[in-house]
């Protein structure tokens, strides 16, 4: 019996017309225009811009270059870390050389070096200028993607950092995004306190994009999109829904407004929910707009989380009370940067307590949490410390102040390594050694205003 071959057919959609091919470069040009062209276009706090720009100018123009200057920038994804660096360097005419992870299989086929060797080569051999570069151009090295091998072998990264500290020619900026998993938290694995102190690594931390700055960035993108005939202007409800749903993720918000502005795209599905809130005189109805396609897990901002701890909400439960808060979610959210959260609590808790006995109890709780947190390389000790300080402050605050109080940032301490200080000693031990011996053997601690 003769067998017939059965062919499968696939529908790849309608063919692309000539007009669509012509419109593609125009859309690409519009996307390029949306990218910030100057520091005034950035949706980042002006203080962060000044800190990064000041560090870059200091690192490039420092006369005494005994070693390579390192900067670590951390923060949540989509908050504008890389864009801020590239925009600042463009404004001051500094070339950025970015590390891109090679694929190991390509080097294995060609019998070449692996990722670790190429990573070290990136720092050491970047001093050679390209034939197309200008002779007197200033350069910055940027590392956003780290080779995966460093997650399990962080000692290899420390060895490269040691060699680059003395041999690299240009300043280096490392960018690490926050990660909810402690096993993949690059800041904890590759840049612990001892390494930052040993190699004099400066640290600038970004927060989620504020709603006012996010609204400003979307307004600028909307004005640029309105200049092209290939796009339609999104409605005010769409912009409001994008701001509410993005949760401070600037990258996600810009992608959504671009998609919502395409003429041939369907309108985004917006969910409308209302809630009543009791005001001073009467109840008011608040309308909340969200986009179902971009809803993600709610991330507590730093100040939102501090407000929940310092001004806890209680509910009656018979003859006693219960804390009306998800403690587990708070601990998981701030386990990424426990030291930062702990420093903010220490700086602000006194203003929220109305009783001296409660204040003493809270002070003892924070001191005990500090003792556990000094060795936060252990994930369990980090989690236990957060549980103690969060629950301890909530329970101790029995006579809380009801007035509005502004949260202030903790005092920054500039740790300056002395010459020849290469010991792997924790900065806290060095700090207290100086106090007890009344010397400056290890560090000079300068309080930065």
Furthest CA-CA distance within the chain: 100
pLDDT of residue 56: 92
Q: What is the H or E stretch that residue 273 is in?
A: strand 270-278
Judged against a pLDDT cut of 90, whether residue 192 lies above it is answered with no
Judged against a pLDDT cut of 90, whether residue 441 lies above it is answered with no
Burial of 299 (0-12, 13-18, 19+ CB in 10 A): middle
Strand, helix or coil for residue 399: coil
Judged against a pLDDT cut of 80, whether residue 278 lies above it is answered with no
Percent of the chain with pLDDT over 70: 70
Fold of 44-205: Rossmann fold (3.40.50)
Burial of 73 (0-12, 13-18, 19+ CB in 10 A): buried
pLDDT of residue 368: 87
Q: Which of 130-144, 236-250, 339-353, 432-446 has the lowest mean pLDDT?
A: 432-446
The residue-averaged pLDDT of 409-436 equals 61
The residue-averaged pLDDT of 294-309 equals 66
The residue-averaged pLDDT of 403-429 equals 60
The residue-averaged pLDDT of 356-366 equals 88
The residue-averaged pLDDT of 227-239 equals 78
The full set of domain ranges for the chain reads 44-205, 211-294, 305-396, 412-448
Q: Which carries the bigger pLDDT value, residue 193 or residue 72?
A: 72
Judged against a pLDDT cut of 50, whether residue 271 lies above it is answered with yes
Judged against a pLDDT cut of 50, whether residue 297 lies above it is answered with no
pLDDT of residue 36: 87
Within 10 angstroms of residue 326's Cβ, the number of other Cβ atoms is 12
Judged against a pLDDT cut of 80, whether residue 317 lies above it is answered with no
Q: Rounded to an integer, what distance in angstroms lies between the CA atom of residue 81 and that of residue 73?
A: 7
pLDDT of residue 72: 93
Q: Which of 22-36, 79-93, 96-110, 355-369 has the lowest mean pLDDT?
A: 96-110
Q: Which of 10-24, 66-80, 139-153, 300-314 has the lowest mean pLDDT?
A: 10-24
Tokens of 90: 């463009």
pLDDT of residue 293: 54
pLDDT of residue 143: 92
| Nearest to 206, CA basis, from 146, 249, 256 | 249
Q: What is the mean pLDDT of the chain?
A: 76
Judged against a pLDDT cut of 60, whether residue 381 lies above it is answered with yes
The model's confidence at residue 449, banded by pLDDT at 50, 70 and 90, is very low
The residue-averaged pLDDT of 200-222 equals 87
pLDDT of residue 11: 47
Which 8-state DSSP code applies to residue 201? Answer: -
Judged against a pLDDT cut of 50, whether residue 8 lies above it is answered with no
Q: Which of 2-11, 26-35, 96-105 has the lowest mean pLDDT?
A: 2-11
Q: Cβ(336)–Cβ(300) under 8 Å?
A: no
């Amino acid at each position: 019996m003769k067998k017939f071959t059965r062919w499968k057919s696939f529908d790849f959609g309608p063919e692309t017309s000539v007009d669509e091919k012509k419109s593609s470069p125009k859309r690409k040009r519009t996307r390029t225009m949306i990218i910030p062209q100057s520091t005034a276009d950035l949706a980042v706090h002006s203080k962060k811009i000044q800190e990064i720009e000041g560090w870059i100018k200091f690192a490039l123009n420092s006369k005494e270059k005994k070693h390579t200057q390192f900067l670590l920038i951390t923060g949540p994804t989509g908050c504008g870390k890389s864009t801020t660096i590239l925009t600042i360097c463009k404004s001051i005419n500094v070339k950025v050389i970015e590390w891109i992870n090679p694929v190991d299989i390509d080097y294995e086929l060609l019998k070449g070096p692996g990722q670790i060797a190429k990573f070290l080569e990136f720092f050491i051999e970047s001093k050679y200028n390209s034939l197309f570069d200008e002779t007197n151009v200033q350069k910055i090295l940027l590392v956003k993607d780290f080779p995966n091998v460093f997650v399990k072998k962080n000692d290899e990264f420390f060895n490269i950092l040691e060699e680059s500290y003395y041999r690299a020619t240009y300043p280096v900026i490392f960018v690490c995004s926050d990660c909810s998993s402690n096993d993949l938290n690059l800041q904890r694995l590759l840049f612990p306190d001892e390494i930052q102190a040993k190699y004099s690594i400066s640290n600038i931390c970004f927060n989620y994009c504020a709603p006012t700055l996010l609204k400003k960035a979307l307004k600028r993108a909307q004005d640029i999109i309105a200049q092209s005939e290939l796009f339609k202007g999104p409605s005010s409800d769409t912009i409001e829904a994008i701001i509410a749903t993005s949760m401070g993720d600037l990258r996600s918000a810009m992608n959504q407004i671009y998609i919502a502005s395409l003429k041939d795209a369907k309108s985004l599905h917006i969910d409308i929910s209302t809630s009543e809130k009791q005001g001073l005189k009467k109840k008011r109805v608040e309308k909340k707009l969200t986009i179902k396609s971009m809803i993600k897990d709610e991330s507590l901002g730093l100040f939102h989380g501090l407000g929940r701890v310092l001004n806890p909400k209680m509910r009656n439960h018979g003859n006693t009370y219960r804390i009306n808060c998800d403690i587990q979610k708070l601990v998981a959210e701030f386990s990424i940067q426990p030291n930062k959260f702990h420093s903010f609590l220490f700086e602000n808790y006194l203003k929220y307590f109305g009783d001296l006995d409660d204040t003493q109890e809270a002070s003892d709780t924070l001191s005990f949490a500090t003792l556990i947190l000094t060795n936060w390389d252990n994930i369990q000790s980090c989690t236990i410390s957060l549980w103690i300080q969060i629950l301890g402050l909530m329970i101790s605050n029995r006579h809380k102040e009801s007035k509005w109080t502004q949260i202030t940032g903790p005092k920054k301490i500039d740790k300056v390594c002395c010459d020849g200080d290469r010991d792997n000693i924790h900065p806290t031990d060095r700090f207290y050694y100086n106090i007890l011996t009344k010397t400056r053997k290890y560090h000079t601690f300068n309080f930065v205003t």
